[in-house]
A = this chain, B = another copy of it.
Amino acid sequence: MSILVVGSIAFDNIATPAGRKDGVLGGSATYFSLSASYFTQVRVVAVVGEDFTAEHENVLKKRGVDTDGIEHAKGRTFRWGGQYLENFNEAKTEFTELNVFEKFQPRIPAAYRDSDLLFLGNIHPALQSAVRCELSGVKLTGGDTMNFWIQGANAELRQTLKQVNVMLINDGEAKLLAAERSLPRAARKVLSMGPQALVIKHGEYGATIFFREGAFGVGRHPFRAPALPIEEVVDPTGAGDSFAGGFMGYIASQGEINREVVKRALFYGGVMGSFAVERFGTEPLQSLTREDIDGRFGIFRELTHLE
């Protein structure tokens, strides 16, 4: 099954305890597409400026990603600069230049309308909502958001939440969205806002998926996938989108959704997130093989498997 992703393409200036790198190709749509490309056909809707060259586009094309939905606008591509401190938990934003992203109005090419799965990357919830309305035929919609929208566009986000099947956010976002400090209670509250499943990402500790009663016929018990203890985290940028790409990509590759598929998808999400942080930018996601991915899947499984 094919996946359509709507999100950002950006150039990032990234400083981490491991070093710094400027003008790194990034953005939610970029990380998501590269990650999902190892599992299924991916189509991208995003906007770029004149500084986005054929060479940049080739990074996606080489992985078989359909880039026809990338709009080329006058001006510069979205740019972000940030710094991660010792614990890598959160980036301190140094600057944000929205540039062409400021007036982004996602346009869905006609050829994309038969997409089976949809991923709404972290953009304004009103845009997420509009895209979801247009793609009325999709079988499964995943979504992401951030504190900025939870606080600044809450009403619009509540609308989006009614339109996604699976929401993927981190601990802090879940607690903020639900105004709850207990994670299971926060999860239940977010599920009551609309989605059938909620993936809460715990960074280096993995992720937990919570289900609404009866969702996907998968039972109501949560499921947790670990993350590998990574020897050296170089750059956590894009880890969440890479996670989402592995999660949604694996589901797309399976043709049906059941508890076992969703569980494995959560493991694949963790696997792709763990690759993403090993070097700066999308570099680690450009030249993996399915053997690399399944090898790490095996290690993750071994990490928690009781006889």
Contact = CB atoms under 8 A, between A and B. Distances in A.
Interface string A55-93: 000000000000000000000000000000011000000
A226 interface: yes
A302 B301 CA distance: 13
A231 interface: yes
Interface of A: 17, 86-87, 181-185, 187, 202, 204-206, 208, 221-226, 229-233, 260, 263-264, 267, 299, 301-307
Chain copies in the assembled complex: 2
Nearest to A263: B306
Contacts of A204: 183
Contacts of A232: 182, 185
Nearest to A183: B229
A306 B264 contact: yes
A231 B180 CA distance: 11
Given A182-B231, A185-B231, A221 B17 contact: no
B304 A184 contact: no
A209 to B, nearest CB: 10
A306 B267 contact: yes
A295 B72 CA distance: 57
Contacts of A231: 182, 184-185
A203 to B, nearest CB: 9
Given A181-B17, A204-B183, A229-B183, A303 B264 contact: no
